[in-house]
Amino acid sequence: MYEIRKAKNSDYEFLFELKKSAEFEPIKAVFGWDESVQREIHRNEWDEEKPTIIEVDGVAVGSYLMQFHSEHIYFGRFFLLPEYQGKGIGSQVLKVVITIAEQKSLPIKLCYLQGNRVGQLYKRLGFEVIGQDEQFVHMLKPRL
């Protein structure tokens, strides 16, 4: 149903617009939307590590980042364009990540902005809230 590939330089602007379309309201509610601040954050994240692009029929529709650490896998920058949400793509992506974590016997850590409905998906797939504040919810999927 979907394919993945590493982000290329030509994906830079798509990824900013993707984040904006997926998180504008939660970011606005928690921090207030400041375009220049968000572009700076995007640049810093891009320079740190490029995410994986999710494609459907050859069209980029989402992204995620999976980082391997000695004690856990970190999962982040998980966004889907609104018209591709609720179609099972997010669940499929997460199930693959969970399988990888199980094979490596590692827990998965993630965090997301308060007010983002993606938390329902994480809970459905076995993630547990391990902390939260006014801005973020931190979750863990324990290793099996």
Per domain, the residue ranges of the chain are: 2-141
pLDDT attached to residue 116: 87
In the predicted structure, residue 144 carries a pLDDT above the cut 80: no
pLDDT in tens, 117-132: 899 999 999 999 999 9
Global confidence as pTM: 0.92
Closest CA to 97 of 72, 116, 60, 70: 72
pLDDT digits (tens, 9 = 90+) for 68-79: 999 999 999 999
Sign for the pseudo-dihedral over CA of 4, 38, 136, 28: negative
Residue 15's pLDDT band (boundaries 50, 70, 90)?
very high
The CATH superfamily label for domain 2-141 reads Gcn5-related N-acetyltransferase (GNAT) (3.40.630.30)
Listed as own residue / partner, the contacts of 86-92 with beta carbons closer than 8 Å and 24 or more positions apart are: 88/1, 89/1, 89/2, 89/54, 89/56, 89/61, 89/62, 90/62, 90/118, 90/121, 91/121, 91/124, 91/125, 92/1, 92/2
